Chain A
Amino acid sequence: MAYQFPALTSEQKKELSEIAQCIVASGKGILAADESVGTMGSRLQRIKVENTEENRRQFREILFTVDDSISQSIGGVILFHETLYQKDSQGRLFRDILKEKGIVVGIKLDQGGAPLAGTNKETTIQGLDGLSERCARYKKDGANFGKWRAVLKIDNQCPSHLAIQENANTLARYASICQQNGLVPIVEPEVIADGDHDMEHCQYVTEKVLAAVYKALNDHHVYLEGTLLKPNMVTAGHASTKKYTPEQVAMATVTALYRTVPAAVPGICFLSGGMSEEDATLNLNAINLCPLPKPWKLSFSYGRALQASALAAWSGKAANKKATQEAFMKRALANCQAAKGQYVHTGSSGAASTQSLFTACYTY
């Protein structure tokens, strides 16, 4: 077994490790603003706004031009390709605005799902072709991390061994290619919440999936200190009749993680996966208060759970800019506190923040 082919130099490792730590430092988390055009369509439809490039640009502008203090809660923002090249109304590139605030810019790199024949409608993820060249280009254009979402579901005979192996392998290939180009890969093996399974079943599946992911990362010589994990929390399926407290979710989640995620991984940034804004915050807080060993930062990488109230406040009207920014800032601060186990539930959440954001079989 030869080792004389190190994948990365010490300088490359140092750069990756520093970027990763910067994103999750001091309770900071990630704003996942990388909704594809199609997905933004679903979002905008809910607030009755037309899905045009200009509307998408306007909404993102409102979020990114929020007060500089946002950088105490947000360490990184994931962008969709289009957004990386968009500008605000003064002609400044969004990526420069974010960089000036000290926020690390990330880019969604996967290209959506493709079916796995011979399975119960399971999928793998495309996007490896030409990925190295794309990464190099994005790095030049200001991105320092990438994100790739693999999807697994709990169902009859699912996730199958093939689905787990295939998704773990593509995640590892993606991660390896990112690191070669100076991008920190966020590894996202989402076990979606569709179904009526209980929390214990989700925990079992999550442990198997994560074990496979970390074996694949090891096989592909990925430098763990220069990665981040974006997993689901361990919860019951959306159609489950059982209810669990945040403490139960926290215990199941941290147990699954500490049985599978090596301590070398600097940070775990949970996806919100359709949880309401408030639940996403309460669960993250409980996770950070969980008494089990937690050698990684436990933070957030939220899309819907950071933006739902903001979207509702905006409703497509420029006049609502201030209200939109306030709504966003409020969730950002709440989640930053939760990432330190310091969130105090005020009890006065708006309608949008408690509303479940679940969309069946969520894909881009």
Chain B
Amino acid sequence: MPHSYPALSAEQKKELSDIALRIVAPGKGILAADESVGSMAKRLSQIGVENTEENRRLYRQVLFSADDRVKKCIGGVIFFHETLYQKDDNGVLFVRTIQDKGIVVGIKVDKGVVPLAGTDGETTTQGLDGLSERCAQYKKDGADFAKWRCVLKISERTPSALAVLENANVLARYASICQQNGIVPIVEPEILPDGDHDLKRCQYVTEKVLAAVYKALSDHHVYLEGTLLKPNMVTPGHACPIKYSPEEIAMATVTALRRTVPPAVPGVTFLSGGQSEEEASLNLNAINQCPLPRPWALTFSYGRALQASALNTWRGQRDNAGAATEEFIKRAEVNGLAAQGKYEGSGEDGGAAAQSLYIANHAY
């Protein structure tokens, strides 16, 4: 077994590790603002706004014009390709505005799911072709991290061994290519909450999936200290009749991670997957109060759970932009506290905050 082909030099490793640590610095998490054009269509139609490039630009401007208060709770923002090249009303690139706040810029690089023939509706994710060249360009254009989402689902016979293996492999290839181009890969093996399975089942599946992911990352010589993990929390399926407390979710989640995620990984940034804004914050908080030893940062990479109230307040009206931005800052600060186990709950269930954001079989 040769070792004489190191994938990365010491300088490359240091750069990657420094980027990862900046993103998940204490109290900070990620704003996932990388909704594809198709996903934005769904979001905007819910508030009666037309899905045009200009409206998408205006909406992202609402988020990115947040003031310095977000500096202490947002470590990274994930962009969609289009947004990386958009500018605000003053002609300043969004990338520039975000970087000037000391926030790391990230880019979604996968190209969506495709079916795995011979399975029960399972998928893998495409996007590897020309990925190295794309990463090199994105790095030049200001991105220092990337994100790639794989999707698995729980049912009678899924996830199948093939789905687990194939998605783990494709995640590892993506991660390897990113690192070659100075980009920190966020590895996202999402297990959807669709279904009526209980918490235990989700925990079991999550452990199997994560074990496969980390074996694949090892096989592909990925430098773990220069990666982040974006998993689902361990939760029951949406149609499960049993209710669980945030503490139970926290215990199941942290247990699954402790059994599979090597301590070398600097941070775990949970996806919100349709949880309401408040639920996502309460669960993250409980996770950070869980009594089990946790050697990685445990924080957020939220899309819907950071933006729902903002989107609802904006409703496509420029006049509402300021108030909408405030809603976003509020959720960002709350999650910054939750990432340290210091959030005390809202006390009152805000309209959009508690509303479940679940969309069946969510794909971008």
- Least Cβ distance of B298 to chain A in Å? 12
Q: Mark B258-296, 1 if CB is under 8 A from A, else 0.
A: 111111100000000000000000000000000001110
Q: Smallest CB–CB gap between A148 and chain B, Å?
A: 21
Residue numbers in A under 8 Å from B208 (CB-CB): 1, 218
- Contact between chains at B207 and A218 (CB < 8 Å): yes
Q: Assess the A214–B211 pair: CB atoms within 8 A.
A: yes
Instruction: Return the CB mask of B199-225 against A: 1 if under 8 Å, else 0.
Output: 011001101100110110011000011
B12 sits at the interface (CB 8 A): no
A263 and B160 contact, Cβ closer than 8 Å, known pairs A211-B215, A293-B263: no
Q: What class of interface size applies to chain B in its complex with A? A: 20 to 34
Determine which of B1, B207, B263 lies in contact with A263 in the assembled complex, contact meaning CB atoms within 8 Å. B263
Q: Determine if B1 and A264 form an interchain contact, defined as CB atoms under 8 angstroms apart.
A: no
Q: Which residues between 185 and 215 of chain A lie within 8 Å of chain B, taking CB atoms? A: 200-201, 204-205, 207-208, 211-212, 214-215
In this assembly, does B159 line the interface, its C-beta being within 8 Å of a C-beta of chain A?
yes
Chain A residues near B263: list those with CB within 8 A.
258, 261, 263, 293-295
CB closest residue in chain A, given B161? A1
- State which of B3, B225, B258 has its C-beta within 8 Å of the C-beta of A262: B258
Other-chain contact of B218, A3, A211, A294 (Cβ < 8 Å): A211
Closest CB-CB distance, B240 to chain A, in whole Å?
14
Q: Contact between B261 and A262 (Cβ–Cβ < 8 Å)?
A: yes
Q: How large is the interface on A (under 10, 10 to 19, 20 to 34, 35 or more residues)?
A: 20 to 34
B3 contact from A205, A219, A263, Cβ within 8 A: A205
Say which one of A35-43, A109-117, A155-163, A323-331 lies at the interface with B: A155-163
Residues B258 and A264 in contact, CB atoms below 8 Å apart: yes
Give Cα A201 to B215, complex, Å: 19
Q: Is A259 an interface residue (CB 8 A)?
A: yes
CA distance A212 to B219 in the complex (A): 9
A211 touches B214 (CB 8 A): yes
Chain B residues 214 to 248 lying within 8 A of chain A, measured CB to CB, are 214-215, 218-219, 224-225
Residues of B within 8 A of A200 (CB): 3
Q: Which chain A residues border B293 with CB–CB below 8 Å? A: 263, 295
Q: Is B158 touching A1 in the complex (CB atoms < 8 A)?
A: yes
Q: Which residues of A in the span 123-164 have a Cβ within 8 Å of any Cβ on B?
A: 154, 157-160
State which residues 77-135 of B face A: CB under 8 Å. none
Whole-angstrom CA separation of A261 from B261 in the bound complex: 8
Let me know if B154 is at the binding interface, CB within 8 A: yes
Contact of A208 among B1, B158, B260 (CB under 8 A): B1
Top 9 A-B residue pairs of the complex, sorted by shortest distance between their CB atoms? A204-B3, A3-B204, A211-B218, A218-B211, A215-B215, A264-B258, A259-B264, A258-B263, A264-B259
Q: 26 A-B pairs, CB-CB below 8 angstroms?
A: A1-B160, A1-B208, A3-B200, A159-B1, A200-B3, A201-B3, A211-B214, A211-B215, A211-B218, A214-B211, A214-B214, A218-B207, A225-B259, A258-B262, A258-B263, A258-B295, A259-B224, A260-B218, A261-B262, A262-B262, A263-B258, A263-B263, A264-B255, A293-B263, A295-B293, A295-B295
